[in-house]
Chain A
Amino acid sequence: MAVTRGFTGRPRRGGDNRLPPGQYNTGDGWPTLTAELTPQIDVDEWTVTVDGLVDNPTTWDWRGIHALPGDAYFGDIHCVTTWSKFDTTFSGVSVDALLEVAGVRPEATHVFATSTTGYTTNLPLADVTGGKAWIVWDFDGKPLTPEHGGPVRLLVPHLYFWKSAKWITRIELRDHDEQGFWERNGYHDRGDPWLEQRYQGDA
């Protein structure tokens, strides 16, 4: 495509290879993107369930999930609206830990994540296993705020952030892929920021 007349853009720092194509560094900011009103969830009423193609469908409450081995993510996050945020720290548990308890059946190929609001998103199983996805409740050592998905959200930082469902309450294992909320509404099924898979139709 042609150069835009008169556009030079922000100063580029040399070798800033942490920024996927088309993204900018939002610095200390953390914009939010939601399609629905932010729910106020009482941690005493919150639960998360792993079910579907598993041997032991399991539900954890707030105390139960804290009893699992803790884990943390330190690194970058990328939103399809083009901001990236560097060096974030999220704490919670690895999705692997939940799946180990539930016992994934061999025929499972995808997960379908659901929020308390009814928001959904679909992910290949391989994108939430092997230390690539977490259930988190802390951001930079503080409780995750409601507008950022608190008390508990899914975190899949190697994909665009709409895959990291806020207010997570259910992860269903499936043997097929089915589009979630934004995927039905025009966004990409996988959402790899390094491949710039933003919208349906992107490679």
Chain B
Amino acid sequence: MSAGGTAEPVASAWTTGVVREVEHLGASFVKLRLEVADRHDHVPGQHYVVRLRAPDGYTAQRSYSIASDPADPLVELMVECLPRGEVSGFLHDVAQVGDELEVRGPIGRWFVWGGTTPSLCVAGGSGVVPFVSMLRYARRTGTEPLLRIVASAQTRDRLPYVDELEAYGALIALTRENQLMPDGSERVAAHIYPDELVPQTDGIERAYVCGSVGFVSFVGRILGEAGVRSDIVRVEQFGPTG
């Protein structure tokens, strides 16, 4: 592993994010668009920490990847609502336009894409969020040829930004729904087939994998079999181990 990404400063102070837009996507996801005071530009792939404060001073904080382009006047987070999720549950059920949240960011200089390295992004479910920031950045800067995206989820409904991903040309792999593919073929529901992923690795100098522990392990194995060196693979994983 070599030295990490860019030299963007980490925001060292908590600030305020005012909720400007809330959009629920089914029961599983809520999109929050925040106006962040004293905002520092992010690099696609970075995250924010959101901290909630109860009347007795108790706090809870969690990290959420940024979905928006750095040029977006608002910071967009896509929050998956977890069972009994203390913070995600609040953001899903209670947060509304006008609310003020404590936020800190952008954070993380490793899982970032600066628009110059030919890269493959592989996402499982809500792991797609940092890649949405990357693809929006790529579209704006005309660097789409450098960024390929593969996104996997159980069903279309469980994959946030699925339409935007498809429009970008991302390969969508659903594990519980058959799909009609752009070339007219039918894809039988399954995890990412190795012969789908391997061609995507041609010419890449970096791979980003974001998803659950099991997903990352699964994709890592396929990438290894495809000859992708493990030291060019950057990982962000979440959730418990089995």
Residues of chain A contacted by B180 (CB below 8 angstroms): none
Closest Cβ–Cβ distance, residue A190 to chain B (whole Å): 15
- Give bound CA distance, A160 to B102, whole Å: 22
- Residue contact A7 to B213, C-beta cutoff 8 Å: no
Of the stretches A31-39, A123-131, A151-159, the one at the interface is A31-39
Instruction: Indicate whether B178 reaches chain A with its CB closer than 8 angstroms.
Output: no
- Residue contact A186 to B109, C-beta cutoff 8 Å: yes
Of the stretches A21-29, A48-56, A66-74, A96-104, the one at the interface is A21-29
- Give bound CA distance, A185 to B239, whole Å: 22
A-B CB contacts (within 8 Å), total count: 132
- Residue contact B52 to A1, C-beta cutoff 8 Å: no
- Residue contact A3 to B233, C-beta cutoff 8 Å: no
- Residue contact B102 to A201, C-beta cutoff 8 Å: no
Closest Cβ–Cβ distance, residue A17 to chain B (whole Å): 13
- Residue contact B108 to A186, C-beta cutoff 8 Å: yes
- Residue contact B109 to A10, C-beta cutoff 8 Å: no
A38-B217 contact in complex given A7-B90, A82-B62, A199-B107, C-beta closer than 8 Å: yes
Residues of chain A contacted by B209 (CB below 8 angstroms): 37
Instruction: Indicate whether A89 reaches chain B with its CB closer than 8 angstroms.
Output: no
- Residue contact B101 to A30, C-beta cutoff 8 Å: no
Instruction: Indicate whether B117 reaches chain A with its CB closer than 8 angstroms.
Output: no
- Residue contact B86 to A34, C-beta cutoff 8 Å: no
Instruction: Indicate whether A119 reaches chain B with its CB closer than 8 angstroms.
Output: yes
Instruction: Indicate whether B176 reaches chain A with its CB closer than 8 angstroms.
Output: no
Residues of chain A contacted by B59 (CB below 8 angstroms): 9, 21-22
- Residue contact A37 to B233, C-beta cutoff 8 Å: yes
- Residue contact A82 to B61, C-beta cutoff 8 Å: yes
Per a CB cutoff under 8 Å, which of A24, A118, A200, A202 touches B1? A118
Residue with the greatest number of chain B CB neighbours at <10 A, chosen from A24, A186, A201? A186
Residues of chain A contacted by B51 (CB below 8 angstroms): 1, 22
- Residue contact B86 to A185, C-beta cutoff 8 Å: no
- Give bound CA distance, A148 to B213, whole Å: 11
Residues of chain A contacted by B3 (CB below 8 angstroms): 184
- Residue contact B13 to A201, C-beta cutoff 8 Å: yes
B 103-114 binary contact with A (CB < 8 Å = 1; else 0): 010011111000
Per CB-CB distance, the 6 closest pairs between chain A and chain B, nearest first, are A201-B12, A118-B1, A185-B109, A186-B10, A185-B4, A37-B220
